[in-house]
Amino acid sequence: MPSIFKKIAVVVVVAAIGIAVWALILTSGFFDISLEDLRAKYETPASKYIELDGMEIHYIDEGDGPAVVLSNASYHTTRAWDGMVKNMTDRFRVIRFDFPGNGLSGIDAQGRYSPELYGEAITHLTETLGIEKFHLVGTSSGGTVAFRYAAAHPAKIDRFVLINSAGMPRTAVTNPNRARGTAFGRWVSSNHQSKSWWRASLSQTITKRPPFDWHVNMNYDMNRRSDRYETGALFRRNYITGEPSTVLDDITAPTAIFWGIKNPTVMHLEANVIQLWMTSAPTVVKKYEDLGHYPYIEEPELVASDISAFLSGEWDDQLRQTQRIKPEELVSADAN
């Protein structure tokens, strides 16, 4: 065999061995981090735990004033609210928690990861803390959890805030969880999402500045938790949009809808659709010209100020109530 072919054969064999070793490392859990190590690194002095059906739910309860409960985004944890929360605790009691199987919370042995289970966590947490009525703030997939909860428990919700909420009907093209990139790339990311992967991913959804290092590092750590891939897959399987128009119509609490215009994940016109469908609640929409999917991380002081103003009633003169005429009413009007 000519020398050149021997060299090519050697390169191919070495490459194949390298790929096999890399694949073995990825699937071995080499990069995983345990829940115990995450807790040691990311617990705060205010971190506490309650038990729900055998699950340990991590929560943080800070500040004084009317109670505000926060429902966070997919792939994020309650610590993502840090910057916003520190600008609200002088006026509000802010309560935030990690969903089961996420952040510093324990797993659900029954694998029930869904918006419904997360709603149960809100009820259990607030009842345990003796809170009968509270403001509720939800963002991204946590917005879906929040608006379903607000619709199902109107007597519990004082005022309601949505920030870049998920939960609207999707097509194959608009589904944020649609398959992207090559099959090999998807396989790699399904087994390990590197720090550079997270920096690139967050750079697409944070638009005003590069992602903060703490944000990249925390997402990298939290999403290499040893059981995270299984719980994430179960949540995506159980995350069914359903018919949000009828759910949103059941919300009665005054509602503020915040959106980043440069949000590539859920387009800003969805804020207007949500407002249109909320026919039982007075609403106001505010859009941030230069912000993306995580405005409370990009500009925490601004978003905290806006939320605080709305919750305190300072925006009540901007609230409007959508009226939607039913088809049978149109027929009746034409007949007359």
Give the residues across from 59 on adjacent strands. Answer: 48, 97
Q: Is residue 327 part of a domain?
A: no
CA pair distance 65, 93, nearest whole angstrom: 5
- The pLDDT of residue 271 is 96
Give yes or no for a contact between 55 and 100, defined as CB atoms under 8 angstroms apart. Answer: yes
Based on the fold, state whether residues 113 and 9 are members of the same structural domain.
Answer: no
CATH number of the domain to which 279 belongs: 3.40.50.1820
Q: Is residue 333 part of a domain?
A: no
Q: Is residue 271 part of a domain?
A: yes
Smallest CA-to-CA distance from 85 within 314, 308, 309 is with: 308
Based on the fold, state whether residues 21 and 73 are members of the same structural domain.
Answer: no
- The pLDDT of residue 181 is 58
Q: Is residue 267 part of a domain?
A: yes
CA pair distance 62, 85, nearest whole angstrom: 8
Based on the fold, state whether residues 287 and 313 are members of the same structural domain.
Answer: yes
Token output for 5: 């072919």
Based on the fold, state whether residues 4 and 107 are members of the same structural domain.
Answer: no
Count the domains in the chain: 2
Based on the fold, state whether residues 72 and 211 are members of the same structural domain.
Answer: yes
Give the residues across from 225 on adjacent strands. Answer: 33
Q: Is residue 328 part of a domain?
A: no
Based on the fold, state whether residues 8 and 74 are members of the same structural domain.
Answer: no
Which contiguous run of DSSP H or E holds residue 164?
A: strand 157-165
Q: Which range of residues forms the domain containing residue 293?
A: 35-322
Give yes or no for a contact between 231 and 113, defined as CB atoms under 8 angstroms apart. Answer: yes
Based on the fold, state whether residues 26 and 40 are members of the same structural domain.
Answer: no
Per-residue pLDDT in tens (0 to 9) along the chain, 336 residues: 567 767 676 666 666 666 566 455 555 566 689 999 999 999 999 999 999 988 999 999 999 999 999 999 988 999 999 999 999 999 999 999 999 989 999 988 888 888 888 999 999 999 999 999 999 999 999 999 999 999 999 999 999 999 999 988 766 656 656 555 565 555 555 566 789 999 999 999 998 889 999 999 999 999 998 877 677 777 777 777 678 999 999 999 999 999 999 998 888 999 999 999 999 999 999 999 999 999 999 999 999 999 999 999 999 999 998 876 666 665 555 555
| Three-class SS state of 159 | strand
Based on the fold, state whether residues 151 and 257 are members of the same structural domain.
Answer: yes
Contacts of 46 (CB under 8 A, 6+ apart): 60, 61, 62
Token output for 326: 């039913």
CA pair distance 53, 88, nearest whole angstrom: 31
Based on the fold, state whether residues 9 and 82 are members of the same structural domain.
Answer: no
Give yes or no for a contact between 204 and 211, defined as CB atoms under 8 angstroms apart. Answer: no
CA pair distance 171, 164, nearest whole angstrom: 18
Give yes or no for a contact between 148 and 115, defined as CB atoms under 8 angstroms apart. Answer: yes
- Report the amino acid identity of residue 242: G
Q: Is residue 331 part of a domain?
A: no
CA distances from 60 to 26, 76, 89 (A): 33, 15, 12
pLDDT digits (tens, 9 = 90+) for 164-185: 999 887 666 566 565 555 655 5
Q: Is residue 153 part of a domain?
A: yes
Based on the fold, state whether residues 173 and 198 are members of the same structural domain.
Answer: yes
What length is written for the chain? Answer: 336
The residue with tokens 């029930």 is 112
Give yes or no for a contact between 64 and 93, defined as CB atoms under 8 angstroms apart. Answer: yes
Q: Is residue 334 part of a domain?
A: no
| Three-class SS state of 84 | helix
Based on the fold, state whether residues 188 and 210 are members of the same structural domain.
Answer: yes
Based on the fold, state whether residues 55 and 85 are members of the same structural domain.
Answer: yes
